[in-house]
């Protein structure tokens, strides 16, 4: 069963026509909520709890795989450094203490000259004040953090192994990468800072993206060193692009997206799963300039038929089912949309049925709606 589903997904990933349309809703913290367990118990307490979450999900919803198990932040490890980027509450993962702009606009020269030294000596002490002026204490924290990071990786490896071996479900995301312009946005300059820098410091912004590119590469291939096993993808969320004018996207973001595809997919053989956040309709012509790698695109908004017609030669197209409809609609209305997905997007292959956004809350989808559309696509999506 595992191999059958993996082959189905990989055929679509390669822009081919599998035996039937793959079903891949993006289930994250919806899983524990639906299973009636706390997110903390599932992600921190016991890997068996998280496995049982997916056992229940697999029993109730037809799936051809999962992107990842939802346990994506090493919270115990981060607690060694005081406030981290994310914390866990009864509502799931939330941002806390991100400190906004951790890099000042006059510090580009330091970043460009040596990104590693700049992060170690400037950004980390600024973001985590507990690390200031305590060399021996810091060494202890770092040793403890490394151990807890290994525990976190082992926790997920146990869960993912059981999901694949006992449930026959491929777990697809074997690595994560953040493109260098998004590193500046997410970790250094925040949205207001990046928007200002592109206007006032365009050369410095571009040079910083170039300086950080190797870090983006290392993030991609460091954890997933065997792309030839053909079992997974590198997950890359794209945050900044759709907040840029198309001409600014083409100038400041696209070169690094294109270079990443060339280095990671074309030259090294990885499959890249891009989460195309927001509306990409104004950028489709520009995306035609990407290298011919193995790219998968999950599109949140826009006309998916036009997207497939425009860049289906570059991307495997993922999406089609609005979570707003799964949340508010009737089973009948949801099945009508699923039928439309098969009619509009499935012809010619190169399509994976999915939700248009992550399912993170129990309110994001009525279980009966999600079960109905997944089963409908599986039964009626045969080529």
Q: Specify burial of residue 51 (Cβ count, 10 A radius: 0-12, 13-18, 19+).
A: buried
Cα–Cα distances in angstroms (integers) from residue 129 to residues 81, 97, 107, 123, 345, in the given order: 8, 12, 19, 10, 51
User: Hey, is 57 helix, strand or coil?
Assistant: helix
State how far the Cα of 168 lies from the Cα of 161, in Å rounded to an integer.
10
> What local confidence, expressed as pLDDT, does residue 322 receive?
97
> What local confidence, expressed as pLDDT, does residue 375 receive?
98
Contact 29, 92 (CB under 8 A): yes
What global pTM score does this model have?
0.94
Domains in the chain, please, with CATH? 2-73+170-380 (3.20.20.210)
State how far the Cα of 239 lies from the Cα of 212, in Å rounded to an integer.
16
State how far the Cα of 57 lies from the Cα of 265, in Å rounded to an integer.
32
68 contact partners, CB below 8 Å, separation of at least 6 = 28, 171, 172, 173, 235
Q: Which token pair is 15?
A: 């822009």
Distance of CA 60 to the CA centre of its chain: 24
> What local confidence, expressed as pLDDT, does residue 84 receive?
56
297 contact partners, CB below 8 Å, separation of at least 6 = 274, 276, 307, 311, 315, 316, 317, 318
Q: Which token pair is 235?
A: 């997950």
pLDDT, one tens digit per residue, over 204-258 is 999 999 999 999 999 889 889 999 899 999 999 999 999 999 999 999 999 999 9
State how far the Cα of 337 lies from the Cα of 1, in Å rounded to an integer.
28
Helix intervals (H) in the chain: 2-13, 30-35, 39-40, 47-60, 75-78, 108-113, 115-118, 124-127, 135-167, 180-183, 190-200, 202-222, 246-248, 254-260, 284-287, 304-311, 323-328, 331-344, 367-380
Q: At what angle do helices 331-344 and 367-380 cross, to 10 degrees?
A: 30
- CA-wise closest residue to 291 among 337, 339, 259: 259
In the predicted model, residues of the chain with pLDDT beneath 50 are 97-98
- CA-wise closest residue to 69 among 39, 89, 96: 39
């Amino acid at each position: 069963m595992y191999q059958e589903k993996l082959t189905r997904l990989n055929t679509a990933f390669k822009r081919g026509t599998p035996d039937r349309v793959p079903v891949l809703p993006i289930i994250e913290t919806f899983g524990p909520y639906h299973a009636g367990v706390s997110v903390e118990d599932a992600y921190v307490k016991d890997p068996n709890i998280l496995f049982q979450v997916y056992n229940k999900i697999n029993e109730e919803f037809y799936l051809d795989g999962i992107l990842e198990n939802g346990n994506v932040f090493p919270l115990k490890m981060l607690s060694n450094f005081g406030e981290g980027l994310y914390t866990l509450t009864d509502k799931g993962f939330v941002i806390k203490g991100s400190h906004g702009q951790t890099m000042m606009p006059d510090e580009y020269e330091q970043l460009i000259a040596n990104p590693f030294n700049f992060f170690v000596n400037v950004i980390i002490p600024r973001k985590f004040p507990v690390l200031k002026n305590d060399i021996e204490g810091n060494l202890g924290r770092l040793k403890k953090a490394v151990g807890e990071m290994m525990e976190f990786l082992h926790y997920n490896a146990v869960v993912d192994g059981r999901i694949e071996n006992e449930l026959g479900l491929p777990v697809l995301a074997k690595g994560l990468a953040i493109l260098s312009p998004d590193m500046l946005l997410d970790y250094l300059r925040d949205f207001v800072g990046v928007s200002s820098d592109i206007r006032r410091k365009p050369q410095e912004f571009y040079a910083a993206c170039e300086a950080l590119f190797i870090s983006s590469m290392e993030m991609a291939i460091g954890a997933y060193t065997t792309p030839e096993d053909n079992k997974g993808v590198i997950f890359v969320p794209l945050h900044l692009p759709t907040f840029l004018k198309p001409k600014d996207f083409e100038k400041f973001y696209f070169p690094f997206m294109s270079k990443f595809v060339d280095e990671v997919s074309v030259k090294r053989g990885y499959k890249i799963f891009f989460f195309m956040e927001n509306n990409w309709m104004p950028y489709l012509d520009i995306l035609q300039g990407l290298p011919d790698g193995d790219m998968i695109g999950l599109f949140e908004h826009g006309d998916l038929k036009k997207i497939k017609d425009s860049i289906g030669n570059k991307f495997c197209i993922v999406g089609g089912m609005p979570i707003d409809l799964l949340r508010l609609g009737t089973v009948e209305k949801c099945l009508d949309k699923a039928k439309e997905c098969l009619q509009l997007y499935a012809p010619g292959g190169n399509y994976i049925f999915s939700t248009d956004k992550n399912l993170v809350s129990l309110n994001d989808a009525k279980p009966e709606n999600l079960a109905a559309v997944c089963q409908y696509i599986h039964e009626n999506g045969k080529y």
